[in-house]
Structure 1
Amino acid sequence: MRGQAAVIEGFGFGAAPGTGGVTLAGAGGSVAAPMAGSSDWSDLTIRFTVPDSAVSGMLTVTTAAGLRLTATVHVIPRLRFGPDTLTWKQRTAFPRAPVGVGVAAAEIPADNVVSITLYAAGGAELVGARLVPDAGVYVARALAGGAVGAWARQPDNADPLKSRALPAPRGFAAVAVATRYNSHFTGSALYVIGGIDSAGRAQPSVFAADVTPDSVAGHFAPIEPLPAPVAGATAVVRRGRIYVIGGTDSLGRPQRSVFVGRIAADGHIDGWYRQPLLPTPRAYGGGVVLDDRAVAFGGVADSVPPGGGLDPTTPRLASSDTAPVSLVSGFLAGPWASGNTLFPAPRSQFATLDLGDVVLLVGGMYGGAATNDAETLAAAVIGDSLGLFTGPAGPGTIAAQGGGTLVGPAGVSWRESDGSRHALVIGGIDLNTGLRKSGVWGF
Structure 2
Amino acid sequence: MTTKPLTVAIAGLGTVGAGTVKLLQEHAGLLAERAGRPIRVKSVSARDRKRDRGIDLSRIHWVEDPLALAVDPEVDVVVELIGGSDGVAKALVEKSLHDGKHVVTANKALIAHHGTALARLAESTGVSICYEAAVAGGIPVIKLMREGLAANRIKRVYGILNGTCNYILTEMRRTGREFADVLADAQRLGYAEADPSFDVDGVDAAHKLSILASVAFGCEINFAGVHVEGIRHVSATDIAFAQELGYRIKLLGIASLSEHGIEQRVHATMVSLDTAIAHVEGVFNAVVTIGDYVGQNVAEGRGAGAGPTASAVVADLLDLARRRALPTFAIPASKLAKLPVAPMERHYGAYYIRLMVKDRPGVIADVAAALRDERVSMEAMLQRGRAPDEVVPVVLTTHETEESSMRRALARIAKLDTVAEPPRMIRIESLSA
TM-score strictly above 0.5: no
Using the size of structure 2 for normalisation, the TM-score is 0.27
Between Structure 1 and Structure 2, which shows a larger proportion of helix residues?
A: 2
Between Structure 1 and Structure 2, which shows a larger proportion of strand residues?
A: 1
Q: Which has the higher contact order (CA 8 A, sep 6+)?
A: 2
Query: Looking at CA atoms only, which structure, 1 or 2, has the larger radius of gyration?
Result: 2
Using the size of structure 1 for normalisation, the TM-score is 0.26
